[in-house]
Amino acid sequence: MCWAVPAVVLDIDDKNSLAYVDIGDGIPRPVVIGIANERVSRGDLVMVHAGVIITRLDLDAINQFIEEKKELARELALMAGDDPEKAVREVEEEFNKIFEIARRAREGERGVVREMW
Amino acid sequence: MVNQLINNQACLNSVCLPQLSIDCWKCPVIKDRINVAELIFRRNINITRRLREYIFKFSDILRRSYGEDYLFKIMDFCGTHEWTIVHFGIRSLVPNNVELVAGPGCPVCVTPSYYIEQTIKLALEGVVVYTYGDTFRLPALKPVNGTHSLAEAKALGADVRIAHSIVHAAIDAGKHGKDSVFVGIGFETVAPGYAEAALKNLLPSNLKLMSLVKLTPPAAFYSLDILREKPNDYPVMGVIAPGHVSTIIGGKAWTPIVENYGIPVVVAGFEPNDVLMAIAEILRQLARNDIKVVIEYTRAVKWEGDVKAQSSIRTVFETVDSAWRGIGYIPKSGLALRPMFSRFDAFEYFGIKDLTPEEWRYDLPPGCRCAEVTLGKAKPTDCPLFMKQCTPDHPVGPCMVSMEGACAVWARFGGGGLSVEIAKDLGLVM
């Protein structure tokens, strides 16, 4: 029921609540905007489920995920009697490494993603 | 650093915007955003390892307070979560006092056979039937003129077409002008699409909508009740709530579970690290006795959901009691078109009588345990037909049809229980 694919919004037809999206194959497809039209604009990353835009991906929320993970790491370190600041630093370093790899992938370097494995 | 990378709005500048081309997909900023998401949630083995460590630590704490043998059942509602869990082998990553149970989140599995029989009948009478790919193969209990599914009807010459979406069906039906019906199965995720199509008059006059939309929270409460009735079994101690349904109805829709059952709920995304994070959070809440609804899938889900989508669903549809295949009627668990929009209603136009609680009969084939599988009472491997008569190529029960059906997922990827047992035999898991 939750199978959805990320897509990029190419164009919006506000009158009919339709949007044209590209799911990665270069073919513009018409889909219904199921959510508030103000939330969707050209160039946005959205999730498309059975031809309906169900949400806009808000990748700033990754910051929140990182904060949550730091919180978990701190809690566990306190429980185990380790240094909580060190645990948090480790998590930070881990994510910095990911962003570094993402940056290199963006610059066109091939095979960098493999480094994560 | 994070903000530089993912908060960069350069793709909305004047260079790309006026041209409507596929280059948006090649845009480095968007590519980068996808890379970051994928690197964190799918491919990052370091994060996976760390989350697994957290899960084991919290399960140790719980083992100390609940006892060595206590089994923590966590229900994953969504068929897509079950897919992630089985495909990525997450069951072999969790400690042995944590059990992941599949829930009723597969619309194809729970659509009553009666409606499939009615659409087959329409197809054989010459009506063009638009359906999603998985409904196409869904077997009905009683054959209509010897035809068991829409696929067989098509083989007999009926005009059954697979549609990706209602827009696709509307465009296609507008071209030929023949009487057509769209088999609208699904959950809350597709409902705003149908609602918008009705509100904006996107459907041509010859295309009618058969609304078989089901609602998830009532089914969630129902299956939790059912699982609590079994006295000699461990109760469900946590719920992984469906992420994409929650984009519409919001995280707030799950608060009754916390209030009535006192168990944690985590709205999770669909990448493996999302699911592991959700398990870690549920165990943390249990260990700390800090029970609440938490949204893990923050990049897509808001606490309020999408208010506009909720209001357009309310405008077009009314909540009705609805039949679930093999389970029966669950109160207030379905959506039917309001009389104001009856011009789109396939039931009215084609004179199909809707199912009533008195007429509903148990509608699974003999031996099939799909209803128990969808309610989390049985595993697919407990079913006598699983991988014997019932295979993905020749499905007998509805759970073997859809990509999200628990049986189909287990059949394709080996099944979580099985893989754990094999790992145990080989001495990989203690």
Residues of B in contact with A77 (CB under 8 A): none
Residue B320 touches chain A, beta carbons under 8 Å:
no
In this structure, what DSSP letter does residue B240 have?
E
Question: In DSSP terms, which residues pair with A33 in a beta bridge?
Answer: A53
> Distance (Å, rounded) from C-alpha B346 to C-alpha B334?
16
Q: Do B319 and B334 form a contact (C-beta atoms < 8 A)?
A: yes
Residues of A in contact with B249 (CB under 8 A): none
Residues of B in contact with A72 (CB under 8 A): 54, 280, 284
Q: Among partner residues A1, A63, A99, which is closest to B105 by beta-carbon distance? A: A1
Residue B369 touches chain A, beta carbons under 8 Å:
no
Residue A16 Cα, gap to closest chain B Cα (Å): 6
> What are the C-alpha distances in Å from A107 to residues A101, A103, A111, A117, B32?
10, 6, 12, 20, 9
Residues of B in contact with A8 (CB under 8 A): 24-25, 27, 30
Answer whether A72 sits within 8 Å of B186, measured CB to CB: no
> Distance (Å, rounded) from C-alpha A63 to C-alpha A47?
20
Q: Do A21 and A4 form a contact (C-beta atoms < 8 A)?
A: no
Mean pLDDT for chain A overall = 82
Closest of B185, B186, B124 to residue B159, by C-alpha:
B124
Q: Determine which of B20, B32, B40, B58 to mutate to test the interface with A (most A C-beta atoms within 10 Å).
A: B40
Question: In DSSP terms, which residues pair with B208 in a beta bridge?
Answer: B181
Radius of gyration from C-alpha coordinates of chain A:
19
Confidence grade of residue A55 (pLDDT, cut at 50, 70, 90): very high
- Count of CB atoms situated within 10 Å of the CB of B425: 9
Residue A73 Cα, gap to closest chain B Cα (Å): 8
> Residue B15: what pLDDT?
41
Does the pLDDT at position A24 exceed 90?
A: no
> Residue B48: what pLDDT?
84
Q: Among partner residues A17, A35, A51, which is closest to B165 by beta-carbon distance? A: A51
Burial of A65 (0-12, 13-18, 19+ CB in 10 A): buried
Answer whether A32 sits within 8 Å of B165, measured CB to CB: yes
Answer whether A99 sits within 8 Å of B192, measured CB to CB: no
Runs of H (alpha helix) within B303-383: 307-316, 346-349, 370-374
In this structure, what DSSP letter does residue B214 have?
B
> Distance (Å, rounded) from C-alpha B22 to C-alpha B82?
33
ipTM of the complex: 0.85
Residue B50 touches chain A, beta carbons under 8 Å:
yes
Please give chain B's pLDDT, 430 residues, in tens: 334 433 344 444 334 444 434 455 556 666 666 667 777 787 777 788 888 888 998 999 999 999 888 999 999 989 999 999 988 888 888 898 999 999 888 899 999 999 999 999 999 999 999 999 889 999 999 999 999 999 999 999 999 999 989 999 999 999 999 999 999 999 999 999 999 999 999 999 999 999 999 999 999 999 999 888 876 688 899 999 999 999 999 999 999 999 999 999 999 999 998 999 999 999 999 998 999 999 999 889 999 999 999 999 999 999 999 999 999 999 999 999 999 999 999 999 999 999 999 989 999 999 999 999 998 888 888 899 998 999 999 999 999 998 889 999 989 887 655 666 666 666 655 5
- Give domain limits for chain B: 52-379, 380-425
> Distance (Å, rounded) from C-alpha B242 to C-alpha B196?
22
Residues of B in contact with A18 (CB under 8 A): 167, 202
Residues of B in contact with A73 (CB under 8 A): 50
Burial of B66 (0-12, 13-18, 19+ CB in 10 A): middle
Answer whether A99 sits within 8 Å of B196, measured CB to CB: no
Answer whether A102 sits within 8 Å of B27, measured CB to CB: no
> Residue B30: what pLDDT?
62
> Residue B6: what pLDDT?
38
Answer whether B2 sits within 8 Å of A51, measured CB to CB: no
Answer whether B36 sits within 8 Å of A58, measured CB to CB: no
Residue B40 touches chain A, beta carbons under 8 Å:
yes
pTM of the predicted protein model: 0.88
> Distance (Å, rounded) from C-alpha B335 to C-alpha A99?
44
* Domains of chain A as residue ranges with CATH: 5-57 (2.30.30.140), 61-116 (no CATH)
Chains A and B form CB pairs within 8 A to the count of: 240
Asked: is B52-379 a CATH 3.40.50.11750 domain? The reply is yes
Give the three-class secondary structure for B412: helix
Q: Among partner residues A15, A20, A98, which is closest to B44 by beta-carbon distance? A: A98
Q: Do B322 and B112 form a contact (C-beta atoms < 8 A)?
A: no
Question: In DSSP terms, which residues pair with A46 in a beta bridge?
Answer: A7, A56
